[in-house]
Chains A and B, each alone.
Chain A
């Protein structure tokens, strides 16, 4: 496999958080890892569950790409710091970060418990603050600027009863745009991808009825089901040199679902 030069990712170093996925499924994080490796990047696949990251790395190595599986829990600052130091000592630089870790929630503010609210905000927002806090200085030290993609969600813009989740994903957009302004002069770009209802292990691993799957598919005006590859391709594009004048953007990969706001059963 010869990587495509035009992405400008050959020899670059990328961290993908939550780069594992249940079983052999293709999640958003795993797809991004595989596509970044195909473009020639060295990929640090980070997952709390090492076995899931190792599966992603096996898929990459089977294609001749370069990747390493590591276990860090990005909910703590110390682990994020260690994760960045690991990439720097292993490969000597850091260029790209895909903040893909995220968990769901269900219920209105009345139904939501304070504990779960705090947990969702912590896992979905604080992790992005913490990884960036440590990654940005390393990117600047690497000398070529850097690119960050934070995974938001259609739920930030079209809420459907997943209130804490919606709020956290809205915060991800504000965080991304603020970082784009703060660090634009350092050559750091920061963008969001917001997936629509895409069929990934995150949503089907615990079981999804055919009917729910069909409702989610139909939320797209294109009438096609989205998947992890669709998200991964958007992430690769935004992390690559192909997007070098794009920063602070919120790219929807949702088959047009935000245009019409149909029912999508969350």
Chain B
């Protein structure tokens, strides 16, 4: 018995990494998924792997028209019950090394993308009887993250938008929660060497990185009806690193 039986879930940035793990888990739990990303080859391959339970759409989260296209794909499947705002970029630079262009790029993908996504899905979710939105922030949205001011700014913004949207959307039976991953073993961390990533683990009480599949487990809980009374919550999944 799947925990997401009959649900239709839209995942932005779902072609690889955490988004792909979430797509696989949602399908394993009985959902069908719409995967959006810029990476067409990876996205199409994943949709083919999920064989009938997934469609891939080319989607740049900064473009409203691309959200419309993703929503059309969901509507063609029969509705929408979940959104994972997962697309993101991480180009860590210290304050004095960050220029306006780098700052704006993070704002557009991580923050504007999440805002456009939340806004775009509301009518179809409401028509589908309500739903659950999961915004993928970061531990960089819970504390001062070293050397990544633009990224931090956007991930704090996601945390705040989550709470404001949770209040706005509650009357429409839409729940909104944020997830704050610590170091997770995906391509995103390749901005640092394996050695540098290893070094940072000394600050993690559980002494290891998390996996994309572990994030998917939390996301499944938040998408499912098991968390029907949970909204506006923030959950770090970081082996204790923000403590």
Interface residues of A (CB under 8 A from B): 4, 177, 180-181, 184-185, 187, 189, 196, 198, 220-224, 226, 230, 233-234, 237, 241-249, 251-256, 258-260
Complex Cα distance, B231 from A220, in Å, reads 9
| B229 contact from A226, A243, A245, A246, Cβ within 8 A | A226
Q: Contacts A230-B229, A246-B236, A249-B236; is A259 near B218 (CB within 8 Å)? A: no
Q: What chain A residues lie within 8 Å of B210 (beta carbons)? A: 245
- Contact B227 A245, beta carbon cutoff 8 Å: no
**CB of B36 within 8 Å of the partner chain:** no
- Contact B230 A234, beta carbon cutoff 8 Å: yes
Could you mark each residue 160-174 of chain B with 1 if its beta carbon is under 8 Å from any beta carbon of chain A, else 0? 000100110011010
Q: Contacts A181-B243, A259-B163; is A244 near B214 (CB within 8 Å)? A: yes
| B237 contact from A223, A245, A253, A260, Cβ within 8 A | A245
**CB of B175 within 8 Å of the partner chain:** yes
Summarize A's interface: helix, strand, loop or mixed: mixed
Complex Cα distance, B243 from A224, in Å, reads 32
Complex Cα distance, B1 from A249, in Å, reads 28
- Contact B1 A4, beta carbon cutoff 8 Å: yes
Q: Contacts A246-B235, A246-B237; is A222 near B175 (CB within 8 Å)? A: yes
- Contact A221 B170, beta carbon cutoff 8 Å: yes
Q: What chain A residues lie within 8 Å of B217 (beta carbons)? A: 241-244
Q: A4-B1, A224-B229, A246-B235 are in contact. List 20 more A-B contacts (CB 8 A).
A: A180-B205, A180-B240, A184-B205, A196-B229, A221-B170, A222-B229, A223-B171, A226-B229, A242-B221, A244-B214, A244-B217, A245-B237, A245-B239, A247-B205, A249-B237, A252-B230, A252-B232, A253-B227, A253-B229, A256-B232
Residue of B nearest to A182 (CB): B205
Complex Cα distance, B174 from A224, in Å, reads 12
- Contact A221 B166, beta carbon cutoff 8 Å: yes
* 28 pairs, A vs B, C-beta closer than 8 Å: A184-B205, A184-B206, A185-B206, A185-B207, A220-B229, A221-B231, A222-B175, A223-B171, A224-B228, A230-B228, A230-B229, A233-B227, A241-B217, A242-B217, A245-B215, A246-B218, A246-B236, A247-B240, A248-B205, A248-B236, A248-B240, A248-B243, A251-B233, A252-B233, A253-B233, A256-B170, A259-B163, A259-B166
**CB of B150 within 8 Å of the partner chain:** no
Complex Cα distance, B175 from A252, in Å, reads 13
| B238 contact from A244, A245, A258, A259, Cβ within 8 A | A245
Interface residues of B (CB under 8 A from A): 1, 163, 166-167, 170-171, 173, 175, 182, 204-207, 210-211, 214-215, 217-218, 220-221, 226-233, 235-240, 242-243
Complex Cα distance, B221 from A4, in Å, reads 14
- Contact A242 B207, beta carbon cutoff 8 Å: no
Complex Cα distance, B230 from A260, in Å, reads 14
- Contact B170 A223, beta carbon cutoff 8 Å: yes
| A251 contact from B167, B230, B240, Cβ within 8 A | B230
